[in-house]
Structure 1
Amino acid sequence: MSLRRPRKALLLVSLVVTLALLCCGGATTVMLLNLLGDDQQSSLNASLGCGKGGAVDPDSKLPRIRNYGADQMRNAAIIINVGSDLQMPPRAWVIAVATAMQESRLVNLGYLGSDNDHDSLGLFQQRPSSGWGTPEQIQDPVYASTKFYEKLKTIDGWEAMSLTRAAQAVQISAYPDAYAKHEPVATQIVNLLADGAANAVGDSVTMVCAAAGQIAASGWTIPVKAEVGSGFRSPERPTHQGVDLIASRYTPIVAAASGVVSVVKCDEDFSGRKSCNVDGYPGKGGCGWMVEIQHAGNVMTRYCHMVQRPFVRENQTVTAGEVIGRVGTSGNSSGPHLHFEVHLNYDRSSAGAVDPVQFMREQGSPLGGEG
C-alpha cells in the first residue's frame, strides 16, 4: 500500500467552504464551549453535517480549539485524512485522534532524552523496537497514522468497543483507561475538521447521518426510539430534570453510550417505600426501577421507570446500544415511558442536569423525530 499524502481533490474541502461552515450560526456544542477560541464560541455549527464534505486541508488555515495550536490541529487533520484515504469509518477517526491526544497531545514528538518513554516517538508514541517502523518513518504523521489504522483493523469487533478498549488494543499502554477522557473533545475535533463526521454512522464509510437506533461515530445512540413527551424543565414542570420518551411497555432500553453502570436500584417513593414491581402513579414519587451509567468526559445518564429489575448490575461495563432494561411505568409515572436524563461532571443532582434533547443532538443521535 502506498503511503502517499491524501489527495486534496478527492478528500478535502476548500478553506472557503470551511469558513462558511464556521460562520453559518446555529447551535453550539456544550462540551466544546470552553475549548474554542473566543471568536468561535458562538459560530461552531459542524454538527449539521455528517462528513460528506470530507476533511479540511491540513495545509490551509485551520479552525482552532483552545489548548491545541496550528501544528496540533494540522496533525489532527492528517490523522482524519489518512483514515478517509484508507476507507476507515469515522468512528476510527475519533479513536485515532483521541489516542494521539493522550499519547502526544497531537504533537509529533521526537526523542525526548531522559523524559522519553523507552524509544517511543511521534504522534502515537510508537516504538521502533516493537516493530512499528524506523524512527524516521514513525515521525512521519502519515506513516504513523496509517500504522495505527492498520493495527486497529486487525482488532476483532473494534467498531463496537468503547474508545478506550479499542485504543488500548492497538497501543497496549501502561495506562489503559487514559484514552476515555479525550473522547468528547476528539469527537468535536472530528466534527470541526470534517464537516460533522462524528455524527455519521460510526461503522460505515457512507457518511450518512446516524438514524434512530444506529450508533454515531461519537459513540452515542438513542436509548429508545420514541417521541419526546414532557420536556426538560418546561414551564409546566420546571423541576423536570430530563425528558420523557413515550414508548410501549417492555420496549428495550439501551445504553446511550459505552460506560460503567454506577447505580441500579428500586428508587424509594415519597413514602419511603420500594414498590417498583407495580405500576406507579402521578405524585407517588421516585424513579421506580432505574439505572445510572457513567461515560467518558464525566457524563452520566439516568434511565427511570423500568417495568422490572434492570438487566445490568453496578460496576458492569456496558457498550453503546446494549440493552439494559425495558420500558415500564414504575415510580412517579402516569403511563409507560422512559424518563431519560443527562448530567455533566458526574453530578447526580439537578445542578448537573442538561437538556437531553440538545445534548443528544450534538452527539449526532437526536431524540424523538429529529434529524
Structure 2
Amino acid sequence: MNVPRPRRVFLLVALVATLALLCCGGSISAVLLGGFGGDDDDLSLYTSGCGTGGPVDPDSKLPRVRPYGPAQMKNAAIIINVGANLKMPPRAWVIAVATAMQESSLTNLGHLGKENDHDSLGLFQQRPTSGWGTPAQVRDPTYAATKFYNKLKTIDGWETMPLTRAAQRVQISGYPDAYAKHELVATQIVNLLADGAANAVGNSLSMVCASAEDIAASGWTNPFAVKVKNQYRWSVGSGFRTQDRPDHQGVDLIAGLRTPVRSVSSGVVSRVMCDETFSGVKDCDRAGWPGKGGCGWLVEIRHAGNIMTRYCHLVERPNLKVGQRVAAGQVIALCGTSGNSSGPHLHFEVHLNNDTSSASAVDPIQFMAQRGSPLGGSQ
C-alpha cells in the first residue's frame, strides 16, 4: 500500500529499522472478547502538515472521504472552522466531527417524523425542548457546532478523555459507546480539511506537530516518552517483517530496563499474560535470551476502530486487569527482557479487526506515523 509519509523522522525511522536487529518474540494467537464495533479501518490517513495551513474554506472544492459526499464534507468543514474560530484545539475538532458522524452522518437533518428521536434536529441531533435552541437555530450548522463546542468547554478534563466519553458528556446519548467507531475517519477528515491538524498536539492551539511525549489530536501517542538531556531514551531496532525476519510481526523499540511503557491510545485491556514456558513452567519473571521463545510478559489493548496493540517483553506482570479502561499516554508496564529477547526492549505490534493473529498485523512505524505519533528516538 502506498501511503503519504508525513515528516522526515518517518524516513529516518524506516531506515534505522532496516539496519538494526534485536531478538524478540513472534506472534501469538487467541480469541478476544467482542470489539468496539465499526468497520472503518482504513490506514490511508493523510498527514501532510500539522495544521499550520489552517482549515479550508467550506465553500471551496473539498476532497471526499467515503462514504461522505460534497454536502457532508462541507458540513465537516464548517464544524472544523467553527472550532478554529472559537479557539478550540484540534482534538476538539476530531471529537466534534466524530460526534456529527454518529448523530447525523454529517447530514443536516430535519424532522424525521415517526423515526425522529423526540425533537432532535441538525448535525448533532440537538433538541430544542432541551434548551439547545430553536428548530431553525439547531439546523444552522454554524450555530449547532458552536453550541457543541461551548458545551464541550464546560466538561472538566475533556482534552484527555477517550473520544466517546467526551462526546457522551455533551450529547447524553442512549448509545454512549457508539462514537468511538468514528474516530479514525474523523481523524482523516480533519487532516484532509485542516492541513493535517490531527497530527498537532491535541490540547494546544499552537499547531505544532506532536512529539513523542505529546498526545496528538488523533488521540494517539508514543509508547515511550522519557528524555535525558533532550534526547529520547530509546531507538528503533528490528523492523516489521524485514528480509532477515519475515515473521517479525512488530517493531522493536530498544530502551533501558524498567523504562515506563505507555498505552498509545485510549482503550480497554483485553489480555495480560505470560507468553513463555521453560521446561514446562511459566518463566517470565527472569531475563530471557535469544531462542528461548515467547513474548514474555505481555499486554494487549483494544482501541476504537477495532485496533489492537500488543506490548511484549515486559519486566514483570503489569498491574492491569482484563476489562480495565486505560487512557492515551497512561503508563501500563515497564520495559524488560522476558521471553525471546537479547536485551531490554519493547516489542510493539498493531493489529486490525481486533484479530490477534499474524494475518492482521500491520507495520507499526507506518501506522503510528499516519496518526501523528512517529516511532522515533535516539540513545
Q: Counterpart of 1:190 in 2: which secondary structure?
A: helix
2:70 and 2:117 map into 1 onto residues whose CA distance is: 25
1:250 and 1:272 map into 2 onto residues whose CA distance is: 27
Q: How does 1:220-235 map to 2 (within 5 A)?
A: 220-225=220-225, 226-235=234-243
- The answer to whether the aligner puts 1:332 opposite 2:340 as a matched pair is yes
- The answer to whether the aligner puts 1:188 opposite 2:174 as a matched pair is no
Q: Counterpart of 1:103 in 2: which secondary structure?
A: helix
Residue in structure 2 matched with residue 120 of structure 1 by the alignment: 120
What RMSD over aligned residues (CA atoms) do the two structures have, in Å? 1.6
1:309 and 1:66 map into 2 onto residues whose CA distance is: 42
Partners of 2:108 and 2:141 within 8 A in 1: yes
Partners of 1:328 and 1:336 within 8 A in 2: yes
Q: What's the offset of the Cα at 1:311?
A: 2.3
**Structure 1 residues 271 and 90: CA distance shift in structure 2, 3 A:** farther
Q: Which amino acid aligns with 2:150?
A: E
Give 5+ residue unaligned stretches, structure 2. Answer: 7-39, 226-233
Residue in structure 1 matched with residue 364 of structure 2 by the alignment: 356
**Structure 1 residues 211 and 290: CA distance shift in structure 2, 3 A:** same
1:186 and 1:216 map into 2 onto residues whose CA distance is: 13
Partners of 1:269 and 1:332 within 8 A in 2: no
TM-score, normalised with respect to structure 2:
0.86
Q: Which amino acid aligns with 1:238?
A: P
1:273 and 1:94 map into 2 onto residues whose CA distance is: 47
- The answer to whether the aligner puts 1:32 opposite 2:42 as a matched pair is yes
Q: What's the offset of the Cα at 1:257?
A: 0.1
1:271 and 1:148 map into 2 onto residues whose CA distance is: 59
Residue in structure 2 matched with residue 74 of structure 1 by the alignment: 74
1:276 and 1:305 map into 2 onto residues whose CA distance is: 9
2:5 and 2:369 map into 1 onto residues whose CA distance is: 10
Q: What's the offset of the Cα at 1:270?
A: 6.7
Give 5+ residue unaligned stretches, structure 1. Answer: 1-24, 34-40
TM-score, normalised with respect to structure 1:
0.88
Q: What's the offset of the Cα at 1:224?
A: 1.3
* Aligned equivalent of 1:308, options 309, 316, 323: 316
1:169 and 1:344 map into 2 onto residues whose CA distance is: 28
Q: What's the offset of the Cα at 1:313?
A: 1.2
Q: What's the offset of the Cα at 1:301?
A: 0.1
Deviation by residue 1:278-312 (Cα, 9 ceiling, x = unmatched): 00011111111100000001100000001011121
Residue in structure 2 matched with residue 131 of structure 1 by the alignment: 131
Partners of 2:152 and 2:158 within 8 A in 1: yes
Q: Counterpart of 1:286 in 2: which secondary structure?
A: coil
* Aligned equivalent of 1:322, options 315, 330, 339: 330
Residue in structure 1 matched with residue 258 of structure 2 by the alignment: 250
The runs of at least 4 consecutive aligned structure 1 residues that moved more than 6 Å come to: none
Partners of 2:240 and 2:250 within 8 A in 1: yes
Partners of 1:270 and 1:286 within 8 A in 2: no
Q: Counterpart of 1:360 in 2: which secondary structure?
A: helix
Q: What's the offset of the Cα at 1:48?
A: 2.4
Q: Which amino acid aligns with 1:234?
A: T
Partners of 2:41 and 2:306 within 8 A in 1: no
Residue in structure 2 matched with residue 288 of structure 1 by the alignment: 296
2:42 and 2:60 map into 1 onto residues whose CA distance is: 22
Partners of 2:313 and 2:335 within 8 A in 1: yes
Residue in structure 2 matched with residue 367 of structure 1 by the alignment: 375
Q: What's the offset of the Cα at 1:220?
A: 0.2
Deviation by residue 1:316-342 (Cα, 9 ceiling, x = unmatched): 000000000000000111100000000
1:272 and 1:124 map into 2 onto residues whose CA distance is: 57
Q: Counterpart of 2:273 in 1: which secondary structure?
A: strand
Q: What's the offset of the Cα at 1:32?
A: 3.5
**Structure 1 residues 258 and 48: CA distance shift in structure 2, 3 A:** same
Q: Which has the higher contact order (CA 8 A, sep 6+)?
A: 2
Q: What's the offset of the Cα at 1:274?
A: 1.3
Deviation by residue 1:7-27 (Cα, 9 ceiling, x = unmatched): xxxxxxxxxxxxxxxxxx834
Residue in structure 2 matched with residue 96 of structure 1 by the alignment: 96
Count of residues in Structure 1 that have an aligned counterpart in Structure 2:
335
1:209 and 1:332 map into 2 onto residues whose CA distance is: 35
